[in-house]
């Protein structure tokens, strides 16, 4: 529940950032104030959470189909962002290599670890596996390995595209593509993320 709420909140923040940065809405526009009222409630996060609950209530078969589709789409999206991002790689962005030292690296790794929350959901589906004792550990290890490789590749690609001081906290790749003059790619990845 906590990880789902954090993801929903992040998604809601990205919608507001997309509207202000990509669609050039002003922070005083009614729609932006409606989506980001500034008093603790995020309506887009509420919609994402409500949709997720409705999907879970619809049944495990429907949830599994949507989860499989979304997982495949997300892996393809991240892989394509990384590959396309390497075309705009600037080696000078890697200097200095560790600008915040070891403490900054450890802080970043603890934040990145948040991306691994949710593997407990795999265990909830263990009852649906044909041979959970054998297949579940293999599935978890494969998923962790794939996510780790994708995360590391995305980090290398993003830092190569844009200096670390200019990387956006909420939508790194879309702003990096815009930084490199690829507005269409920025728009596509902003909508898809």
Instruction: Please spell the DSSP secondary structure of 50-104, one letter per residue.
Output: HHHHHHHHH-HHHHHHHHHHHHHHHHHHHHHHHHHHHTT--GGGGSSSSTTHHHH
Predicted TM-score (pTM) of the model is: 0.71
Q: Compute the 3-state secondary structure of the chain and give helix, strand, coil in percent, each to the nearest 5.
A: 75, 0, 25
Which of 169, 146, 173, 145 shows the shortest CA–CA distance to 160? 173
The predicted pLDDT at position 40 comes to 63
- Residue 40 in contact with residue 156, Cβ under 8 Å? no
Spatial separation of the C-alpha atoms in residues 76 and 83, rounded to whole Å: 10
CB neighbour list of residue 112: distance below 8 Å, 6 or more residues apart: 151
Q: Encoding tokens for residue 99?
A: 């600008």
Which tens digits make up the pLDDT trace of 61-70?
777 788 778 8
What share of the chain in percent tops pLDDT 70?
82
- Residue 48 in contact with residue 11, Cβ under 8 Å? yes
**DSSP label of 127:** G
Q: How confident is the model at residue 157 (pLDDT cuts 50, 70, 90)?
A: very high
CB neighbour list of residue 62: distance below 8 Å, 6 or more residues apart: 55
- Residue 162 in contact with residue 175, Cβ under 8 Å? yes
Spatial separation of the C-alpha atoms in residues 26 and 33, rounded to whole Å: 9
Rg of the chain on CA atoms, in Å: 19
What average pLDDT score do residues 132-147 get?
82
First to last CA, the chain: 21
Residue ranges per structural domain of the chain: 1-58, 59-193
């Amino acid at each position: 529940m906590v990880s789902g709420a954090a993801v929903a909140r992040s998604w809601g923040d990205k919608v507001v950032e997309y509207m202000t940065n990509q669609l050039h809405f002003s922070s005083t526009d009614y729609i932006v104030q409606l989506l980001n009222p500034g008093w603790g409630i995020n309506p887009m996060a509420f919609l994402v959470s409500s949709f997720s609950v409705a999907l879970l209530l619809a049944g495990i078969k429907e949830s599994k189909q949507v989860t499989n589709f979304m997982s495949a789409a997300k892996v393809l999206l991240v892989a394509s962002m990384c590959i396309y991002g390497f075309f705009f790689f600037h080696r000078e962005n890697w200097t200095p290599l560790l600008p915040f030292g070891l403490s900054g690296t450890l802080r970043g790794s603890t934040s990145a670890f948040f991306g691994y929350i949710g593997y407990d959901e795999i265990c909830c589906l263990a009852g649906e596996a044909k041979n959970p004792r054998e297949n579940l550990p293999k599935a978890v290890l494969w998923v962790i390995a794939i996510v780790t490789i994708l995360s590391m590749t995305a980090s290398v690609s993003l830092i190569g595209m844009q200096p670390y001081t200019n990387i956006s906290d909420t939508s790194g790749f879309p702003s990096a593509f815009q930084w490199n003059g690829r507005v269409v790619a920025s728009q596509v990845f902003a909508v898809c993320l």
